[in-house]
């Protein structure tokens, strides 16, 4: 059906914040190791904060500190970096107040562990990203879609969202299952750097011209290691 190569790997230790590029990663039943393990919520309640409601969140970054020389390690707590570059440990008692101050969260911010029944990874195809940029007449950054994997493959642009659900797709030496195409929310229309600027035309285009889909979700039940440069195919 198609063949190609993994060009980039990304993970987002804190849901809604910018993430970090990897050279390799372990992916299993819970998704990519270290990905979206924490999220932002209002203190004392169940309401979660996300980039669509607080776009300045994306001015912050999160990364796992390297352990024993392994840049892809996930032991300990992730580190958060505010827009000015100051670093905060995720368990620092002052990080919630600083987040609230910088992202305009008047009710405060609390970091919580993300609970989920299973994980998945988002794969974006470079050809589709290039075609979308051509259609918009300007570069559309991959970061707007928060992918875990960016691949270069011999598929026509946007053809990936038409692949049948349940199809086996190989990443490296492991077989993943296509869960479904990714239905987009408003998040891609917000500046991915936290600039608090919205591209409404991009949002309208994705809905009207792409059926509100961009990228595909894959999952796997047993741990598998993938790396930049690995082949892919189906």
Q: Where are the domains of the chain?
A: 3-12+119-233, 20-113
| Average pLDDT score over residue span 44-48 | 85
What number is the average pLDDT over the span 202-228? 97
**Spatial contact of 107 and 99, defined as CB atoms under 8 Å apart:** no
Q: Contact at 8 Å (CB) between 95 and 102?
A: no
pLDDT over 70 at 136, yes or no: yes
Model confidence band, residue 115 (pLDDT cutoffs 50, 70, 90): confident
**What would the mean pLDDT of 97-117 be, rounded to a whole number?**
93
Residue 195 in tokens? 């600039």
For residue 116, pLDDT beyond 90:
no
Mean pLDDT on 180-208:
96
pTM: 0.94
What spatial distance separates the first Cα and last Cα of the chain, rounded to whole Å? 5
What pLDDT digit, counting tens, does each position of 7-43 carry? 999 999 999 999 999 999 999 999 999 999 999 999 9
Q: What is the CATH number of domain 3-12+119-233?
A: 2.40.33.20
Please state, for a pLDDT cut of 70, what percent of the chain lies above it: 98
- Model confidence at 71, pLDDT cuts 50, 70, 90, reads low
For the beta carbon of residue 72, count every other beta carbon within 10 angstroms: 20
Residue 166 makes CB contacts below 8 A (sequence gap 6+) with 177, 178
Query: What is the pLDDT of the chain when averaged over all its residues?
Result: 94
The model's confidence at residue 76, banded by pLDDT at 50, 70 and 90, is confident
* Residue listed under structure tokens 């875990």: 148
Among residues of the chain, what percentage have pLDDT more than 90?
90
User: Rounded mean pLDDT of 181-208?
Assistant: 96
């Amino acid at each position: 059906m198609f063949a190609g190569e993994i060009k980039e790997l990304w993970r987002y230790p804190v849901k809604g914040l910018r993430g970090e590029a990897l050279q390799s990663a372990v992916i299993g039943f819970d998704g990519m190791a270290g990905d979206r393990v924490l999220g932002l919520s209002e203190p004392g309640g169940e309401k979660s904060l996300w980039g669509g409601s607080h776009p300045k969140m994306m001015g912050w970054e999160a990364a796992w500190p390297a352990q024993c020389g392994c840049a892809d390690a996930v032991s300990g707590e992730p580190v958060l970096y505010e827009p000015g570059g100051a670093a905060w440990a995720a368990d620092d008692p002052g990080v919630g107040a600083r987040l609230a101050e910088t992202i305009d969260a008047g009710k405060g911010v609390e970091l919580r562990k993300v609970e989920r029944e299973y994980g998945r990874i988002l794969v974006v195809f470079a050809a589709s990203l290039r075609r979308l940029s051509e259609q918009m007449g300007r570069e559309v950054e991959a970061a707007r879609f928060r992918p875990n994997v960016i691949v270069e493959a011999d598929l026509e642009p946007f053809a990936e969202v038409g692949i049948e659900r349940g199809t086996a797709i190989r990443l490296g030496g492991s077989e993943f299952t296509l869960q479904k195409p990714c239905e987009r929310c408003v998040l891609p229309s917000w500046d991915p750097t936290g600039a608090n600027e919205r591209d409404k035309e991009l949002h309208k285009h994705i809905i009207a011209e792409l059926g509100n889909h961009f990228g595909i979700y894959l999952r796997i039940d047993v741990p598998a290691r993938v790396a930049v440069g690995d082949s892919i195919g189906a």
